[in-house]
Each structure stands twice: as C-alpha cells, then as structure tokens.
Structure 1
Amino acid sequence: MEVILNFSPWQQALIATLFTWGVTALGAALVFAFKTIRNNALALMYGFAAGVMIATSFWSLLDPAINLAETQDRVPWLVVAIGFIAGGFFLYLADKLIPALYLKHSRHEATSRSGLKRVILLVFSITLHNIPEGLAVGVAFGAIGATQNGSQTAAIVAAMTVAIGIGLQNFPEGAAVSIPLRQSGMSRTRAFMYGQSSGIVEPIAGVLGAVLVASVNTILPYALAFAAGAMIYVACKELIPEAHARTKAESHWAIFGIMAGFTLMMVLDVALG
C-alpha cells in the first residue's frame, strides 16, 4: 500500500489503466491461439465480467460515494442518485449521438467484407464506451488523494478492485474484436492490432478523471456515482445481453459467470475493504 502512495493520483490512474489496456490486448491476443472460441466459454467470460462490474459499482463506488457525501454534510441519496443517473445517461446519449455498433452486432458486421469503414466503426464503437470505463478507474484513484489518511487503505482497495473489474471485462472485449476480424479473413497480426487498439483511450481518460477529482474534491461523490452508473449501463446494455446471446435459451453459462464474478468481487471488497 505504501508503494502505491508514493505515486501521485494521476500516476496511479495511468498505471492502472495501462493494466486495463494490457488486458484488452491479452484478450485480443487470443486470435493467435484460436480462430474461434466456444460460445459457452464466451458466455461465461461476458457473464463473469458483468458480475464483477455490478459488484464493483456498489462496494467500490456507490458505497464510498454515500459515505463521502455524509462527511460533506450533503443529502447522500440525492448525491448518488444524481451521479448514478448522469453516468448511465452519458452512455445513453453517446449511443444516440454516435452510430456505435454494440458487441452483440460486432460478429455480423465484422464477417462482412465491405471494407475498412466497417472495421473502423467496429473498433470505434467499443472504444467509445471505454472512455467512461477509463474515467471510472481515474476517479477511483483520484479519490485516494482526496481521502483522509485513516481511510486511504480502503480507498486504495476500492480503486484496485475497480481497475481489476474493468480489466476483466476488457478481456472478452479484445477477443470480441480480434476473433471476428480473423474469421472474416484478416491476418492475425492486423486483427490483434485492431482488437488491442480499442483500449488505448482508457489511459488518457483515466489520467483525466484522476486530475479532475484530485483538483475538485467537491465533485468526488458525484464522480464516483457517475462511474457506477456508467459501469452498470455497460454491464446491462452490452455484457449481459451478449453473454445470453452466445448460448442457447436453456443454457445457464451466462448466469453462472455473472454470479461467480459478483461473488468474487463482493468477497474481495468486503474482506479487504
């Protein structure tokens, strides 16, 4: 823990988001080992990532936001409600304003040989929702510098769990880009480069989030709740539907993954926090 505190919040956020980007690249690298991945395995991965994000949204983001709002003599439920809704609404507006392709459509679009435009749109759509994910990590690490010494250990654990949660859900995303591109006839190297490139934006967004939170302490509870809203939106809009779409109607692999991911992060947050 002391080693982490030797770095400034923006440096901590940079290191953490480089990790999440690296996990994206690791998922994209599956294209070198497999041309296809069994749907049950993908459903389990997507479900696990969704469960991790749901648990992280409460124990690492909403609960600290409530506690911080109380220490600032604000109305806790109002603060977290505003921030949470704003986070989800941000991604909703992004969906409406930018012609993004969601993960559940990526396989069909990628298998079409209609040219570079479809490939760029595919990568761009996933890159788009990586922005608030990077912000979520940055906000969590920015909170470390804004907390009192007695609460810094808990803030560090919370920030690390957010980064781990984002990283875990980035793994199947990297594979979701690179493997369909490989199936469409693209070389393994090019498919990997496109897959990992979707995570490049996270370090930039993470540093920005950490700097903003560290500079303006009053927005911290709103920012934490905002990040939680963004994560829940991603989990419900993309990961859970994609997990179920990968399997047959009677399959429970997606549910097993969600429960396993939620349980793991719940145990880590409660035991370590």
Structure 2
Amino acid sequence: MIAIFEQFSPIIQALMGTLFTWFMTAFGASLIFLTREVNQRLLDGLLGFASGVMIAASFWSLLEPAIELSHDMTVPVWVPAAVGFLLGGLFLFLVDKLLPHLHMGMEMGEAEGLKSSWRRSVLLITAITLHNIPEGLAVGVAFGAAAANVEGASIASAIALAVGIGLQNFPEGLAVSAPLRREGWPRGRAFFYGQLSGIVEPIAGVIGAALTILMRPLLPYALAFAAGAMIYVVAEELIPATKCEGHSDIPTLGVMLGFAVMMILDVAFG
C-alpha cells in the first residue's frame, strides 16, 4: 500500500486518505438500510472507541512530530506545540459559538451557536460536519509532513492515521443517519445526509496538505493545531454524547480500546 501512495504527490495522497475516511462515514451511515433502531449501548461504545482513536492520533501522529520538528527552531521546543494546540481548540470554540448546531442526544432548546430557525436534523448534521473538518485537516497535514521529511512523520504513519480516522468515522456516520431515521426520514435520505457529513474531510485534507507544503516553517504549528482541534471535538462532542443515556462503563472501555488500536497502528506502521 505504501508503494502505491509513494507514486503520487502529497496532495493526491491526502485526497486518497481522506476519501477512505469519507467512505467509512458512508459505510457507517449505510447500516440504516438494515435497521431502524440502533442499540444505544453499542453506539455509545463505538463513540467511545472513536474518542480513544482521536486522542491517540492527536499525540502519536500530530503532537509528537510537531515537538520533534520544533528542535530545529529558534523558539523553545514546547512553544509551537502548545501554541498550535491551543489555537486549534480556540478555533473550534469560536466556530461553535457562531455556527448553529445541535450535539447528539440534546434537545432543540440546547442548540448552540447563533439563533436559527434550522430544523433539528439540519442542526445535528451541521455539528457532525463541523467536527469532521479537523479530522480531514489532520490527515492532510500528516501527508504534508511526510513529504517535508519531518522526523517522526512518514507516509506509513499518515496512512495509519487515515485508517484510524476512518475507523472512528464509522460510528459517526451511523450517529447521524440513525436519529434522522428515528425522526421518520426515508432510509435513502437518512443515509445521504449521514455520509454527507464526512464529505468535508477530503476538502480539508487537500487544503491541509497544500498549506503544509507551502508554509514549511509553520508545520509544527499546523500539526499541533490539528491535534488541538481533534481533542476539542472529543471533549465537546464525542465523550458527552456517550453519557446522555447514563452509560459509563461501555464508552470508557471503548475509549481505552480505541486509544490502544490507534497507538498500535501508529507505532507499528509509523
């Protein structure tokens, strides 16, 4: 697989990687054709798994290379990682305050962002779509870092990150399509909007790879920015969503398993 990716430019590599993550979102959403209801415990466990994957990916695939790259800079080694990480979280915090959206498991009265007349289904789709952006950005930046020969970054580790993000996108696609189906949407329409939430990842991935190549000195900040944005998504969206029904053990075990899987992927292939 690595040999196949090496034949293409970093931007095409990022596109290929994020098309896979989008496919996994669509695959998860397609389960709505098999059932109308999804076991909540299962969904909570899958979302916990997604959280663990993103936490591990944030360090192993993004923050660690950012720190390694910072050794060659004139600022203290911790500055790019810390600044980029906080800026990534701040960016999503500001977008959260402005863009109307609704987190999974919440009622209409708990919608965040500016006041809007958007329907519940649209607000839910908007939330998932918004939080898919840093995932696509992370994959794109990882391929860009590999092209820039950053220590600790490689095509293998970027592929591992794309695989990990793809695995955690599976429950996210289902988490969008299942509520739409419960609200009476036809299966085809629920699937369409479930997979649509992941289409922003190839766009963000290509942008991330291009910016990484064009702005080499800012690469440590870009890597940490993607990590901060992903951790913000975990803390703001995924973990709280697993607690809505009062479950705790299953999501927690899912987090542990997801972290271990992503760590193994990155260490084994990176």
20-29 or 165-174, larger mean C-alpha shift: 165-174
2:265 aligned with 1:262? no
Alignment correspondent of 1:10: 11
Where 1:71 maps in the other structure, the secondary structure is coil
* Distance in 2 between residues matched to 1:164 and 1:5, nearest whole Å: 17
Q: Which runs of 5+ in 1 are unaligned?
A: 110-114
Q: Which residue of 1 aligns with 2:204?
A: 205
- Mapped partners of 2:103, 2:71: distance in 1: 38
Distance in structure 1 (CA, Å) of the matches to 2:107 and 2:177: 10
Q: 1:89 to 1:116 in 2, by over 3 A?
A: closer
Instruction: Provide the C-alpha distance between the structure 2 equivalents of 1:146 and 1:34, rounded to a whole number of angstroms.
Output: 46
Q: Does 1:220 align with 2:222?
A: no
* Aligned twin of 1:112: none
**Number of residue pairs aligned between Structure 1 and Structure 2:** 263
Tell me the SS of whatever aligns to 1:185.
coil
Query: Which residue pairs with 2:230 in the alignment?
Result: 231
- Mapping 1:187-202, distance limit 5 Å: 187-202=186-201
Instruction: Name which of structure 1's ranges 216-225 and 94-103 shifts more when overlaid on structure 2.
Output: 94-103
TM-score by length of 1: 0.90
Q: Distance in 1 between matches of 2:214 and 2:245?
A: 43
The alpha-carbon deviation at position 157 of structure 1 amounts to 2.6
Distance change >3 Å, CA 7–CA 74, structure 1 → 2: farther
Q: CA deviation at 1:175?
A: 0.9
The separation in 2 between residues aligned to 1:23 and 1:106, in whole angstroms, is 27
CA shift for structure 1 position 192:
0.5
Structure 2 counterpart SS, 1:103: coil
Q: Which letter does structure 2 place at the counterpart of 1:176?
A: A
Q: Tell me, in whole angstroms, the C-alpha distance in 2 between the residues paired with 1:11 and 1:182.
A: 35
Which residue of structure 1 lines up, in the alignment, with residue 134 of structure 2?
132
CA distance in 2, matches of 1:21, 1:163: 10
Q: Per residue, is there more helix in 1 or in 2?
A: 1
Q: Secondary structure at the match of 1:142?
A: helix
Which shifted more, 161-170 or 82-91?
161-170
Structure 1 residue 67, shift from structure 2 partner: 0.4
How many angstroms does 1:127 deviate by? 1.1
Whether the 8 Å CA contact 1:56–1:161 is kept in 2: the answer is no
User: What displacement does 1:247 show?
Assistant: 4.2
* 8 Å Cα contact 2:102/2:108 also seen in 1: no
Q: Calculate the aligned-residue CA RMSD, in Å.
A: 2.1
Question: Once the two structures are aligned, what percentage of the paired residues are identical?
Answer: 55
- Preserved contact between residue 106 and residue 176 of structure 1 (Cα < 8 Å): no
Determine whether 1:122 maps to 2:116: no
List gaps (5 residues or longer) in structure 2: 111-116
Aligned 8 A contact 1:46 1:240 in 2: yes
How does the TM-score come out when normalised to structure 2?
0.91
Q: Is the 2:103–2:241 contact (alpha carbons within 8 Å) kept by the matching residues of 1?
A: no
Contact 1:39 1:247 (C-alpha < 8 Å) held by counterparts: no
Aligned letter for 1:95? D
Out of 135, 138, 144, the residue aligned to residue 142 of structure 1 is 144
Q: Is the 8 A contact 1:106 1:177 kept in 2?
A: no
Task: Tell me if the contact between 1:138 and 1:207 (Cα under 8 Å) persists in the aligned partners.
Answer: yes
- Whole-angstrom CA distance in 2 between matches of 1:170 and 1:3: 23
Name the SS of the counterpart of 1:104 in structure 2. Answer: coil
Please show how residues 237-256 of structure 1 align to structure 2 within 5 Å: 237-248=236-247, 251-256=248-253
Residue 166 of structure 1 deviates from its aligned partner by 2.0
Q: Secondary structure at the match of 1:121?
A: helix
What are the Cα deviations for residues 106-135 of structure 1, in whole angstroms up to 9, with x where unaligned?
7999xxxxx973332222221112222211
Q: Answer with 16-25 or 259-268: which moved more.
A: 259-268
CA distance in 1, matches of 2:182, 2:30: 14
C-alpha contact 2:108 2:120 (8 A) present in aligned 1: no
- Does the CA contact (< 8 Å) of 1:42 and 1:246 recur in 2? no
